[in-house]
Structure formats: structure tokens, C-alpha cells
Amino acid sequence: MTTSVYNRTIGELGAMLRSGETTPTELTRMYMERLDTVAREYNAVVTITEERALREAATAEAELAAGQDRGPLHGIPWGAKDLLAVEGYPTTWGAEPFRNQSFDTDATVVRHLRDAGAVLVAKLSMVELAGGMGYRQPNASLTGPGITPWAADTSPSWSGGSSSGSGSAVAAGTVGFAIGSETWGSIVTPAAFCGITGLRPTYGRVSRHGAMALSWTLDKLGPMCRSAEDCALVLAAIAGHDPDDPTSSRRDFVWPTAHRSRGFRFGVLSDATLGVQPEVRANFEASLAVLEEMGTVDIVKLPDLPYNETATAILQGELAASFEEFMTSGDVRQLTAPEDRVNGLAALALPAHVYIRAMRIRGLICRAMDELMENVDALVIPTLPTVASPIDQAFDRYFDRSNRSPLGAAANVAGLPGIAVPNGFGERGLPTSLSFVGRAWDEATLLAIGRAYQERTHWHTRFPLE
Amino acid sequence: MSAERQSEHEDVDDRLTEAIATAVEASLSYELDDEARQVLRDTAKRHQQLARKLRETPLTNADEPDFVFVPFRAEG
């Protein structure tokens, strides 16, 4: 069966452009039309950037025709989570009080992708303020609840957040790839619930300049795509030091690397499947059988440290600083989710010594995680204990948060990279997901693992829509 | 933890929680309704529990916070 143009990978779309099977302008128009119809059904779109898209597509077309090839992203339509500044368009942060906010310059990531020849077609929806105010149910955005395209007709379910639109738009075949962000779960969760591949890079790998800051030492930007290979291509375009973001690293990200499909060392957390749904467990165990073909699989245990509390204290301290005036002025009362209007207030009085203690423990966590991973290439775990929750339910009604592994907190506190790949289906026909967490700065190994896993399985080639 | 120790924690928690919630309310330019005031107190109480959990991890004076301050000097 021929894959629909809407579900093709970056490499496949690029081949179509270079063979003349389609043009950047034609492809862009097709994707914009699908964004305006299909993606809106999932509340995935804030703004279609039509004028800019057509201009960039025309430039890409002329350049490719003249033999000026900027690389694999040239002419590929993409979407930006709406916390990324794009000149000339609103940047709403998913929040009603910022509906008409705009900036007069592009975020660095947006500029990198423009320089790579990619075509920006949309600002994609997100949970208001990247979820920092403590939302507890799906309806927490000015664009309404994010809906995963999977089983939407029979069992409408949450897309995951806070990069909700990025997840849905990629899964629904309405962008070639998207850029999302993660402070604590916001790339891997929608990747899991939408059945796509999401990469959370090492903190500092990608410049945050021009992105809304929720938590300066936790926020990361990363690609959300239809495959690990696609994530690698996008990361190669957006990674690198930026003088406008002093936290961005000068370390190189090199891709492609020599093709590696085996010889990996995996560390499976000893409590990886504690409290997970039966299908999540079954799919995880099937995934482990695949990993055993790819290398060695050992059981490991996280050191006993307060990961969740450390992450919470850091996040609360920094969001109180990011949004102090927003909260004290009362503008917070305009947020969509009722709990978002009050849940963040206590952070305003988090004592400095609590935050600093968390930052001291952070150092212990960073070293402990690196020591744990000395003899493994990646830690392995189900991305989430459940499939997506029903769209009309509070999260706590569907899954017990205490069942969530502390690896998410540990990885984000330590700034470690992670990749989530689809690994099957579960309850209500919704996708399940597998996560790998790597050592700091080792995205290349993580992406090689993701690619090798996807060469042996084909979950990433299943799409909810043609 | 003994019941007595637990009770001491709760007593401190309640007083601190109320003090913190009062401080937050004083910083706002608007008044909270009863439901919001309770959410604020519940969250502040969880922060106390969080802080206590963090204090269980032993640290020495040499354990520095994981950020590095670098004095700035312009080029040239």
C-alpha cells in the first residue's frame, strides 16, 4: 500500500520534491488545507502561517530548481508549538491573556529551520503556559482540549501535553514535523498518546531564545516527527550554540553517524511496569524481546533520591519567577482551566532556601544518573503507564499518578535526553509507547537506538488517518 | 515516624501553611474566593511536605547548587 503523502517521512517527502513528483508550493498548499480541516478537528492549530509559508515554499522551489539544496529539510512543511516567537504572527502561549501577543523577531529555532529551507505552515496549539500552572484535565488551552487523532470517532481521548498540537498535527499528517518543548514530560507525553516519535534533547542542546520560558533550567525544545531518523534530521538543523542563549552548548551534534543497529546496552528499570495497564506491560515486554536482538538488556535500579520533589521545587520556584506579575495582577484568572487559575499561587511563597536545596540535590542527581548509566547506552521504560485518557475525564480519574516512574523527573532534573517511540496499541485502540533515556549529550546513540528499533518494528508506520 | 513526631510535623505544617498562604494573599491585587483560598492552602501544605522530603537528603556545606555564576566582562 502506498503511504499517503501526508504520512511520509522527511526523507520520503524530500525525494518527492527532488524527483519532481511534487513541488514545495504544492506540498505546502496541500498541508495547509489539511491543517485547516483535519487538524482543527483535534484542536491542533492556533494559526496557519499562510503568507509566510507560501513565501518560504516559493523560495525553496526556486532554490531547488537552481540546484541550491539546503539539505533534507528543504521544502518540508513544519509546525511550531505556539510558545515559539514567529515574526508577524501571534504567539499565544496557549493562554487567553496572550491571545494577541506578538514578537518582532523569530525564535532562534525558527530561524535555523528557515535557514534549512523548511516551510513554516502553522503555530500549533499547546496547554496554556506549557502546563506550568498545574492543569489536571484536558481542557486547558485557549484552543480547547487537545485530541489525539487515534480512535477520535469512537473514543475521543487526550492528545497529551503540553505540546498537544505538535503531537496531534504530526500524527494526523498535517505537518511534516513539529517542534515541541518539554519542561517535564511535554514532548514525550503527546508523542506517546499520539503514536509518534518525540525527542527531548539534552538541556542546552537547542537554543531557547525566543521560546516562552516556564522554567529556565528545565525547559528544552525538541523535534516531534514520524520517525527517529526524522528527529535526527531536525535536531541536526536546530542544535548548536546561540549567543542569545547563554545556556546553549557548543558541543557538536553529528548526524548521520555510522549506521549502527546492534551492540547496544540497555538498562531496564526494575519497577518499569509497576502499575501500568496490561497492554502497556505486554507491549513493553514484546519490545524488550526486540531490544534483546539489538544488544544486552540488564535490570537496573534508580538510586534512592527525591527526584519528584526536586523537580517540583525547581519548577515551582522558577515558574513563580517567570509568572509572578501574571499571578499577582490577577491575569491568571483568565486562564481556561479553573485549576490553572489557582494552582500556581503557592509557588509565589516557596522559600528561596527550598529552591536552592533542590538545586544542590540536583547536583547529586546529575552525578548519580551519570554513574548509573556508565555501563548502559540507555535506560528503558514504558513512556507512560496508560494510553491516553478520555477527553472528558480529569487525569487522576484515569490513572494514578503515583504509578508514574520517577525516571521522568530524574531525567529532566538531570537534563538528560530521551526519545519516545510507538510500540503497539492498547485499550480503546490507542497507542502505547516506549522510552529510552540517554546519557547527557548522547542524542546520537538514542536516535540510533530509535532508528534500529523502528527498522525491526513498524509501529511508527501505522497512521490514524490516510 | 512516631505518632508524636508526626503530630509535631503537622502542627508546624499548619502554622507555616497558614503563614505562607497569608503572605501569598497579601501579594495579590485581588481577593480569592473560599475555594481558591483552600486550594492555596492545600498546595502550600504540599510544599511543606516537599521541603521536608528534600531535607531528608543529607548535604554537606561543600554541596553547591547546580548553577554556576560567572562574572561578566565585555570583550575588549
Residues of A in contact with B66 (CB under 8 A): 359-360, 362-363, 366
Report CA A112 to chain centroid distance, whole Å.
18
With CB atoms and an 8 Å threshold, state whether B27 touches A361: no
A130/A98 Cα distance (integer angstroms): 13
pLDDT tens-digit readout, A355-382: 999 999 999 999 999 999 999 999 999 9
In A, minimum Cα distance to B31 occurs at A330
Sheet with A378-382: strands ordered across: A45-48, A119-124, A77-81, A177-182, A220-225, A197-200, A418-425, A431-438, A378-382, A264-269, A295-300
Q: Is A162 annotated in the active site?
A: yes
pTM of this prediction?
0.96
The rounded radius of gyration (Å) of the Cα atoms in chain B is: 19
Q: CA dihedral in degrees (A450, A239, A247, A100; nearest 10)? A: -100
- Smallest CA–CA distance, residue A335 to chain B, in Å, is 14
Q: Across the interface, which of B21, B28, B65 has its CB nearest the CB of A356?
A: B65
Quote the pLDDT of residue B73: 79
Quote the pLDDT of residue A380: 98
Residues of B in contact with A316 (CB under 8 A): 47
Quote the pLDDT of residue A385: 96
Quote the pLDDT of residue A323: 97
Quote the pLDDT of residue A1: 55
Q: Is residue A115 within 8 Å of A148, Cβ to Cβ? A: no
Number of neighbours of residue A450 by Cβ within 10 angstroms: 25
Task: Output b/e per residue, B4-35; b: 16+ Cβ within 10 A.
Answer: eeeeeeeeebeebbeebbeebbeebeeebeee
Q: Is A123 annotated in the active site?
A: no
With CB atoms and an 8 Å threshold, state whether A313 touches B66: no
A15/A20 Cα distance (integer angstroms): 8
- Give counts: helices (H), strands (E), chain B: 2, 0
Judge whether A361 is closer than 8 Å to chain B, CB to CB: yes
pLDDT tens-digit readout, A300-316: 999 999 999 999 999 99
pLDDT tens-digit readout, A396-442: 999 887 767 899 999 999 999 999 999 999 999 999 999 999 999 99
Q: What is the DSSP letter of A297?
A: E
With CB atoms and an 8 Å threshold, state whether A363 touches B66: yes
Q: Is residue A156 within 8 Å of A391, Cβ to Cβ? A: yes
Residues of B in contact with A360 (CB under 8 A): 59, 63-66
- Smallest CA–CA distance, residue B74 to chain A, in Å, is 13
- Smallest CA–CA distance, residue B65 to chain A, in Å, is 4
